Chain A
Amino acid sequence: MTALETSRVATPSRWRPVLREFSESPGAVIALAICVLLLFAAVFGPWLAPQNPYDLAEISFFDSRLPPLSTSPDGHFYLLGTDNQGRDMFSAMLYGLRTSLFVGVASGVLAIAIGVSLGLIAAYAGGAFDAFLMRFVDFMLGFPSILVALMMLAILGQGTEKVILALVVVQWAYFARAVRATALSERSKEYIEAARSLGLGHARIVFGHLAPNCMPPVIVIGTMQIASAISAEATLSFLGLGLPITEPSLGLLISNGFNVMLAGLYWISVFPGLLLLVLIFAINIVGDRLREVLNPRNAR
């Protein structure tokens, strides 16, 4: 009938225009590159690090507190110096970055899964469940998150999984609230009614049709929340309530050097601190740019 439309279907991608617009900001591209580089460094840290800083056979106590760029008598080169125990700071930071990123991403992903599911169901179901859940979200968001996390860890004790749990508890509510707001407006659109008229089940409609349409704000908040989870974990570890000393994160490294910093041994604290700063800064810039690009008000 309309033979003109027989033209070949271009490989459809919703994300290509997003990527193109994202790359229009050089700062955001650099930030994204830094994020990817750090992620790569974290994943392959054990293979990139000159030594395993937690294998006692590999570290030498006689090399302790060497300044950056020094070479030890037995020929080891320490790019960023060594700490109180003679660990290579560069290696320790790679391991620390790995731990920090793991905790941040794991808690972020879990919080997204829980928050998004609850927010979607609340918006779709409406009524009492919605009202109850959203009041609970208000209640959760009413507490300073660091306070809640501190209290939980004081009760639960130390451990990676406990830190992740504490971070999920303080984060899920943000996602629930954001996704509910989007889902409420999406829910009233006709395609949801159409899906119902086809006899699809509720789960199918919520997670198959509603959820993908609510993703842009989740991506933005998710990025920001991973940054804030990493910094929250660093804070907890710095205060000694976070991760155990056997799995040091960047926060713990900062805290290790903190008491000798004013004695001139600045590198033990400052380098992990800088790395943490760069990491969070880069993630936030990427998140900011994503918010600009994905905001429906800035028409594509």
Chain B
Amino acid sequence: MSALLEVEGLKTHFFTRAGVVKAVDGVSFSLAEGEVLGLVGESGSGKTVANFSILGLVDPPGRVVEGSIRFRGEDLVGAPISRMRKLRGRDIAMIFQDPMMTLTPVLRIETQMVETVLAHEKVSAKAARDRAIDVLARVGIPSPAERIRAYPHQFSGGMRQRVAIAIALLHKPALILADEPTTALDVTIQGQIIAEMQKLVAETGAAMIWVSHDLAVVETIADKIAVMYAGRIVEYGRSGDVIGQPAHPYARGLLDSIPSRTTPGQHLNQIPGMAPSVLHLPPGCAFQPRCRFADAACAVPPPIVDTGEDRWARCVRPLAPEAAL
């Protein structure tokens, strides 16, 4: 099966005054056409930076120091800016976390959509506008021909995220990078947007990387899940496998800290401690200080261990399936 996106050994580091921040430190995964990957992790685990690296949007002092990102076989690391600009928005589109912030406040939706169409295609302004209205209708904006004249502040948060999704879909991208697109929304709206995205992805056949810290959200939408911790993927596998029987203690910890999974009235099993600063990572396994299974063997960098069909964990002692429940 030919992969649409192959990320291999990606390292994106930020060279700050305080030291080198290894935000993404050796991430590898691949994504087939139409596949949805859930990228899960705490704040600061490098999920967003990984996404930004794919689009070449990492700004100094950060840069991709190693690895390759092959999109349809073409390596995007070190690709010229002009090439990246052609891909951005046309073949690879991004949806951001906070819809309040991602639309330019002083421009009409129409202006922003039409210019996005015209940035990649030579069509008349009229045709661009018609396409914009069409896509707005598809993401569930009522009376789009009228609403397209509105400014971002005239939309509610959920509607704004729909507009942002519409902008991302204007060019039928092959890959959508969704960076916590529902985190800033009400729970009810979240559900709507997720359902909408699932439908749209299925319709257009686009592959998607869905970044989130919410396992429950990811479970419903992703085919595969990659759990990130301190700049590395610590567990990877099919969505049902990872959620059902997490092999890495961190993934297990994440699942245990979801309220709905424990009986009401009981204390939640939270992961002790805080996510480490990527400036001062412990030697060996980065999760070891917070891991209740940790021992002397964890002081060396953990190996990648196959834990089943098409799944692996970065742990010396991955949890056996029966221990996971």
Contact = CB atoms under 8 A, between A and B. Distances in A.
A198 B96 CA distance: 12
B88 A5 contact: no
Contacts of A189: 101
Interface stretch (B32-40, B145-153, B211-219, B231-239): B145-153
Q: For the complex, would chain A's binding face be called helix, strand, loop or mixed by DSSP majority?
A: helix
Interface string B95-134: 0111001111111100100011001100000000000000
Given A197-B55, A198-B93, A213-B105, A12 B85 contact: no
29 contacts: A1-B140, A1-B142, A2-B158, A5-B142, A6-B142, A9-B154, A10-B154, A191-B103, A191-B104, A191-B105, A193-B57, A193-B96, A194-B102, A194-B103, A194-B164, A196-B57, A197-B89, A197-B96, A199-B85, A199-B87, A199-B88, A199-B90, A199-B116, A200-B119, A204-B119, A208-B104, A208-B111, A212-B106, A213-B106
A199 B168 CA distance: 11
* Top 9 A-B residue pairs of the complex, sorted by shortest distance between their CB atoms: A198-B89, A199-B88, A199-B89, A190-B101, A197-B94, A194-B102, A212-B106, A6-B142, A209-B104
Given A1-B140, A1-B192, A194 B96 contact: yes
B85 A9 contact: no
Contacts of B262: none
A197 B88 contact: yes
Contacts of A193: 57, 96, 102
A199 B142 contact: no
Interface of B: 55, 57, 85-90, 93-94, 96-98, 101-108, 111, 115-116, 119-120, 140, 142-143, 146-147, 149-151, 154, 156, 158-159, 164, 167, 192
A241 to B, nearest CB: 42
A12 B150 contact: yes
B120 A9 contact: no
Interface in A173-223: 189-191, 193-201, 204, 208-209, 212-213
